[in-house]
Structure 1
Amino acid sequence: MVPDTMSQTVVLGVIGSDAHVVGITILEQALSAAGFDVVNLGVQTSQEEYAEAAVEYDAQAVLVSSLYGHAEQDCQGFHEVLEDAGVEAVTYIGGNLAVGQDDWAETRRTFEELGFDRVFDSETDPEDAIAALRADLDITSTESERATISS
């Protein structure tokens, strides 16, 4: 049984014209197994769809995935759209965010400047994102939950 402290809602999707579904499918399964309520918007999700879902489901986190390398253009104005809709959630982005992503520190800085709370590369383990979510949402897990999650 998952305790109430873990019943946090996360909105997840692939932004813009990107149609890569594998990453969000893996992340959805990992987040669900960790006790999060996951709203998966699927691929080719608009900024407005993220905002609408975050409001509708009272999301505590909005997770954006992009693998086709054009996330910077897809995310221009994203946080303004969320703010205009009244969304107060942590925002994460991950994947192959830039074509020719040679300097990861620069890529991370770009997306932090766009307003994202956390930026992950395409090699990030889902457990790392879950640990970050728990920290950012101030969720503590019991020993038995940690044993269940790690097994």
Structure 2
Amino acid sequence: MTETVILGVIGSDAHVVGITILEQALEAAGFDVVNLGVQSSQEEFVEAASANDAEAVLVSSLYGHAKQDCEGFHQRIADSDLEVTTYIGGNLAVGQDDFEQTRKTFREMGFDRVFDSETDPEEAIEALKADLDVRPPESEREGRTVSV
């Protein structure tokens, strides 16, 4: 089974490079990616997650106003009866000096994982695989020995 993820840049942000790189990395890792592109609304994320029976929603924001753009986002998800893992990453706050405080803020807003703009896509993909309990296909597991 292929896990479907929704990917996009939220709010008025028009930074596309990060999601393009992430889309390619996610697809290479075996995920089915629905890329909403830039300047996507909360409603678009929720509608896409519902329409595509997505397991995860990945929000990107680089212009520093993610907190304002994401206020009420998890309430919209709850109101739509979606059960999705949510990630956010990028330059999430203007003048972001203490990323741990930024991470805490977004975790309190409901995001399962919060990444800074320096995060390697592979780190996010490994976290996503762990959170969604993604296992390699049986064909890739063959030949591996298991120690008991």
Measured after TM superposition, the shift of residue 79 of structure 1 is: 0.2
Instruction: State the alpha-carbon separation in 2 of the partners of residues 143 and 58 from structure 1.
Output: 24
Counterpart pick for 2:76 among 78, 81, 95: 81
What letter is aligned with 1:80?
Q
Cα deviations across residues 36-61 of structure 1 (Å, max 9, x unaligned)? 00000000000000000000000000
Distance 2:51 2:114 in 1: 25
TM-score (norm 2): 0.92
Match of 1:135 among 110, 126, 130: 130
> How far does residue 143 in structure 1 lie from its aligned partner after superposition?
9.7
- Is 1:54 aligned with 2:49? yes
Q: 5 Å matches for 1:27-106?
A: 27-106=22-101
Aligned-partner Cα distance in 2 for 1:126–1:14: 15
Structure with the larger strand share = 2
Matched length:
141
Partner of 1:123: 118
2:107 maps to what in 1?
112
Query: The residue matched to 2:45 in structure 1 has which SS?
Result: helix
> How well do the aligned residues superpose, as a CA RMSD in angstroms?
1.5
1:149 equivalent in structure 2: none
Segments of structure 1 that go 5 or more residues without pairing to the other structure are 147-151
Runs of 4 or more off by more than 6 Å in structure 1?
Answer: none
TM-score by length of 1: 0.90
Which blocks of at least 5 consecutive residues in structure 2 are unaligned? 142-148
Percent identity at matched positions? 74
CA shift digits 1:43-86 (9 cap, x unpaired): 00000000000000000000000000000000000000111112
Letter in 1 for 2:62: L
SS of residue in 2 equivalent to 1:138:
coil
Q: Tell me the CA shift for residue 93 of structure 1.
A: 0.1
Counterpart of 1:24 (choices 13, 19, 22) is: 19
